[in-house]
Amino acid sequence: MESVQIIGSIILACLPAFVWGFIFYKKHPEVKRLTGLTFIAGALAVFPILLYKALWQYLPWIDAFKIADTYKNEVINLSEIVAIPLSVLITFMLVGAIEELMKLSAVKIIDDDEFKHVDDAIEFFIIAALGFSFTENILYFYNIWEIEGAQNLFLPFLFRSSFSTFAHIMFSGIFGYYYGVAHFAKPMLQAEIRQNRHYWTKALHKIFGFRQEKMFHEQKILEGTILAVGLHAIFNIFLEMNWTFLIVPMLICGYITLDYLFAKKENRKALNQFHVGFRNHPSLKARIKAENLR
């Protein structure tokens, strides 16, 4: 019976991954080898999180829920009738940060200067998100099947296949845009510096000798991280507080945001503000290879 549950859960998890993947892959076909490796890396990125949770019983001081629980009596009042426990906010900010950083790690492991433009960054972040969601869905479906029975799988399957999987795509797509800008938008940085919009970058460069491209890269990665983690936390808080009626408006806003970033990306490409095939900040492996060739 257990093998049936495992195989059945894998099959169920394959369906949303295939459907969403087909939508994006059909529109923007990529190198099959990198696509498969990125999906696998995203799927495997769940396991370090599972290991982290398994260590809670041995190292309770790293338990995210216990850390947040110390603030259980603190409440953030959004209005007279809406309040969020601070422990819930901290918990899901930590959860969102861990999951988004693991997806980022999955992409960076595969990347190694393989991405040639911003489009690649967005698309492969989405592929990593599909892999991550695939493993999450297997575990989720298996637990429901084992505890509540197969008859109670239908609604969770619909929710996970549509809302949760798309949420992962949304978070990672936004993160992918900023990752791409961080690597390929040196002309945009130079244009903004000429317009004196990055005066602090020039100042730090003069005072400390920091490379402007490096600071720009770190800034954009930080912006993408904050947005992805923040949206992920909000989504989880809505679920935790049973504010499910807010999920659809949030995902619609997320879709509009993604569409805006895609349009913005195309406008910047038309203005030649993105490099193609050349990074302003190569990966660590590429820098090591360059040093070895000297």
Assess contact for 156 and 140: CB atoms under 8 A. yes
d(CA 29, CA 26): 6
Please report the pLDDT score of residue 294 as a whole number. 57
Rounded to 5 degrees, what angle do the CA atoms 235, 134, 151 make? 85
Terminal-to-terminal C-alpha distance of the chain: 60
Task: Indicate the domain borders of the chain.
Answer: 2-59+91-285
List beta partners, residue 6: none
- Contact predicate 63/90, CB 8 Å: no
pLDDT for the residue 59: 86
User: Helices H, strands E: what count in the chain?
Assistant: 13, 2
The mean pLDDT values, 10 residues at a time, for the chain of 294 residues are 84 91 65 84 94 88 81 73 78 89 91 79 91 95 89 90 92 92 74 53 50 74 91 90 88 86 76 69 62 58
Phi and psi angles of residue 78, each rounded to the nearest 5 degrees, phi first? -85, -25
Alpha carbon distance 131, 43 (integer Å): 4
The beta-carbon contacts of 81-89 under 8 Å, at least 24 apart in sequence, are: 84/237, 84/241, 88/237, 88/240, 88/241, 89/233, 89/237
pLDDT of residue 208: 42
pTM > 0.95: yes or no: no
pLDDT of residue 188: 64
Q: Which two tokens stand for residue 135?
A: 């493993």
Provide the pLDDT for residue 130: 95
CA distance 152 to 143: 11
* Strand residue runs (E) in the chain: 75-77, 83-85
Rounded Cα gap, residues 34 and 165, in angstroms: 21
Q: Are 164 and 133 in contact (CB under 8 A)?
A: yes
Give the tens place of pLDDT for each residue, 234-262: 999 888 888 888 899 998 988 888 888 87
Q: How far is CA 259 from CA 174, 206, 215, 265, in A?
A: 10, 38, 27, 10
* pLDDT per position as a tens digit, 66-121: 877 877 778 777 666 667 878 888 888 888 899 999 999 999 888 877 787 888 88
